[in-house]
Structures are given as C-alpha cells and as structure tokens.
Structure 1
C-alpha cells in the first residue's frame, strides 16, 4: 500500500468531512502540520471538534480555522494567545473543553492504545473534576478521565519512510506521537521521505502501523521564515 500522496490536498481527499473530530499535533507553534492545516481550511469542512494542545494564534495554525469559523469546539490545554478564539468563546460561539496538559497527552495516548478511560489525581477537587466519576485508591482520591479518539489526526514529523515509520525532531516529539496514535486515520506531513529500511529500527519514534497517509512539505524553510516574520 502506497502511503505517500503528492500534496496535502490529495492526502485529505475523501478523509475529512463536516462534524468530525480532528486531532492536531504540535506544541505552541512548534511542530505543527502547517500544510495540512491550510489544506483542511481549503476543504471548507465545518462544525469540527479540534483536539490540540493549543488553538494556534490569530491567522496561523488552528487560528486559520477559527477565522473561517470551521471549528465549533476546542479540546485544549492552552488558548491564551488568540484574540479571535477569545471573542468567539465569550460570545458563546465556540465550545471549550479545557483539559490539563498532561491529562490531554494521556487521553490521546490511551485512546491510541485502546484504553477507554483512566484515573488521575490531576484536577481532583477543582472544576476539572466536576461531573466526573471519582474513586479512592490506597486512601487517595482520583478522577476518571475518558480517553480521546479522533476521526482524523494531522501530524508533523521530521522524516518518514514509505511504510510510515516516523522520526520527530526535538520538541515536535511531545504531542505529535500521541496525536498520531489517537487517529482512526492519521495523515502526516514530513520534511523528508526515505526508502523503507533506511531507518535503524531502534531509532524509530513511532511505527508505521499508526500512519495511513504521508505528504512531503515541499518548502518547510519558507514556512518557518514566514512564521518568524509574522511573530516579530
């Protein structure tokens, strides 16, 4: 099975639809699948629930999908640098499920591992635990968190082989592997594609069993330059 597609648009063709849950990798503006987010915007799909550590910034990352009103719900741990997000949320136009960062990472990892729920001490006695089951273990109270599984996961990796085995670079490794695991269909944007067998098996960060489609980001250096200029 050929997992490599010619463009981000082709990689999303027949995969995304209105009303889906989309998980997006990255941390802040680091390691986000920029080409795939832009291609998702261009499909025009709407009423999306997006799972991501953060909601991007105005006009960049998931901020693009907020501007086009394609997201109706965000599941995130941080949203503090997006004025359009703030406006929509305060106006009651956008639903937010705020989740502690470590809990969000585990919800994605557990979803990808087939674990439907888990118990954690994080959030006990706070708003995070409201309406959720709690249980006592060894004299300590824990709150039950449901795992997350996305219809589609969009991921950024450094390198992939044609079988979908992935290498991540530096901080791009934090949320991207968990997001990749959690997707029913996982589409990955990479900076380099090599032949299957080129990686030392011990160096692989995520096995290709979790990856369904791959697209080469044709000009990551230019995207980084544009992002840096925008943030100055």
Structure 2
C-alpha cells in the first residue's frame, strides 16, 4: 500500500489488541504521540507491554494509560516524573525492565535493522549484567521477579581487553510516533529535540503508526530533510499544527536577570 494516510487516530489504532507490545516515541513530554495514545485509551485496550524512554507524567503522555491500569509492563530508562508509576511498581501492579538509556536506543535501532543482539560495555559489573535488578515486587515489598544474568564476554587483547555485556534487540507489534511533517508515502521529518526516540521506536515496530502535524504530497519533502524513510512507516494520521503539547517542567529566568 503506497498511500498510507488514515482518516483518524481512532481508525489507525483500532487493531491494537489487548496484550500487544508497543514501541512509543518521546522523551519526557517532547515528541509524545498523544493523539494516538488518547485513541488507544478511548478504545479500552489493556494489558499492554510498552517500550519507551519514560512513561509520561500522571496526566499526560503514556501516563494516562498507566493511570487507567492499561499497562502491564514497561521497558524504560527513566521513570522519575510519574508518582503513579512509582506506586504501581512498588506495589507489584506493574512490571519494569529498567534499561540504560543509550542501550535502550540501540536495542530499538538494532531491532529495526534486523540485528538480533549486540555487545556493549554499558552495564558491565552491575545488576544490569549480573542479574537481580527488581522487575516486579510482591505487595509486601519483597522482590517477586528479578532480571536474569546476561552473557558477558571479553573482547580485545592485552591492555585493550574489555568486558562487554550481551543485549538483545527489541521489536514490537506496533510503534506509535509523532512527527512534524510526513507525506502519504510515510516519509517523516521530526522537529529538533522532538526527534529523540521517535525514529528508533518507528523502526522497531512491525506496524508503525505516525501522527504528523502536517501531511503533504509525495515529493513535497526535500529528500535531504527526511529523517525516517517511509519503508519503516505503515500508517500516517494528520493531527494538525495545533496538536496539544505539554512542557514537562517549565523553567524561566527571574525578571531582570
């Protein structure tokens, strides 16, 4: 299908079923595919396994799915801005695979590139490699599920020898991403910092759904400006330039400073 435009976010996410795995773009609240998340919330999909850098905040981004009890497992690198996330994790309601941020990015990229696994120095000598990092708690606060130990190998000779830990790539059933612009063939352009995890999440999803602020005709995008080729994108929904955006933590200078 060359024309990948869909009429609405509701229609685009309609076949995401209970128990599905999703890679979701965004960093903090920057680049969140909020229209797709809200459509997923409205249709009642539950028991989701989500891979995303973080889980939004209590009332925005993935946080609205979390607050509704729709997420079973998160694979993330940062979870510190969401009190409900903390409560669900420590009470045993939510499973968490905590992953170093750069490793998470590479796991998504590798999955989208057909690479099964890779070795990295990140995490060597810690519970990331050795196992036992809490992934789920019992209600009484004891650890119910700990992370497994990972393969560690030494590469290099002499003084250059270093230990590396094996990390498996990530692929998911679906990906939800936000872009500044896209054409009907699925080619996407992201806006500055809102690019963040969006291209990587898109690559990892077997079916990628992109919400775009501006939908243009094929050929209207400068090929040198395209950040993600349409081969990775399967559905495109236009949400408009006035799509809501939130600032996670507003910081301003004092007057006259």
Compute the TM-score of the two structures, normalised by the length of structure 2: 0.86
Q: 1:103/1:230 Cα in 2 relative to 1: closer, same or farther (>3 Å)?
A: closer
CA–CA distance in structure 2, aligned partners of residues 61 and 144 of structure 1: 31
Structure number with higher helix proportion: 1
* 1:139-195 Cα shifts (integer Å, max 9, x gaps): 110000000001000000010011000100001112100000000000000000110
Q: 1:92/1:169 Cα in 2 relative to 1: closer, same or farther (>3 Å)?
A: same
**Pair 1:9 & 2:10 matched:** yes
Within-5 A mapping of 1:89-104 = 89-104=89-104
**Pair 1:208 & 2:230 matched:** yes
CA–CA distance in structure 2, aligned partners of residues 13 and 49 of structure 1: 17
Within-5 A mapping of 1:1-232 = 1=1, 2-14=3-15, 16-129=16-129, 130=131, 131-138=149-156, 139-218=161-240, 220-221=241-242, 223-224=244-245, 227-228=246-247
Q: CA deviation at 1:221?
A: 2.9
* 1:178-224 Cα shifts (integer Å, max 9, x gaps): 00000000000000011001122222111000000000113x53613
Matched residue SS, 1:22: strand
State the aligned residue count: 228
Matched residue SS, 1:19: coil
Unpaired stretches in structure 2, ≥5 consecutive residues: 132-148, 252-257
CA–CA distance in structure 1, aligned partners of residues 243 and 184 of structure 2: 24
**Higher Cα Rg, which structure:** 2
Please give the root-mean-square deviation of Cα atoms over the aligned residues, in Å: 1.5
Of the structure 1 ranges 195-204 and 60-69, higher mean CA displacement relative to structure 2 is found in 195-204
Unpaired stretches in structure 1, ≥5 consecutive residues: none
Q: 1:91/1:4 Cα in 2 relative to 1: closer, same or farther (>3 Å)?
A: same
Compute the TM-score of the two structures, normalised by the length of structure 1: 0.95
Q: 1:208/1:102 Cα in 2 relative to 1: closer, same or farther (>3 Å)?
A: same
Confirm or deny: 8 A CA contact 2:30 2:247 kept in the other structure: no
Q: CA deviation at 1:58?
A: 0.2
CA–CA distance in structure 2, aligned partners of residues 213 and 132 of structure 1: 36
* 1:82-103 Cα shifts (integer Å, max 9, x gaps): 1111110010010000000000
Q: 1:230/1:115 Cα in 2 relative to 1: closer, same or farther (>3 Å)?
A: closer
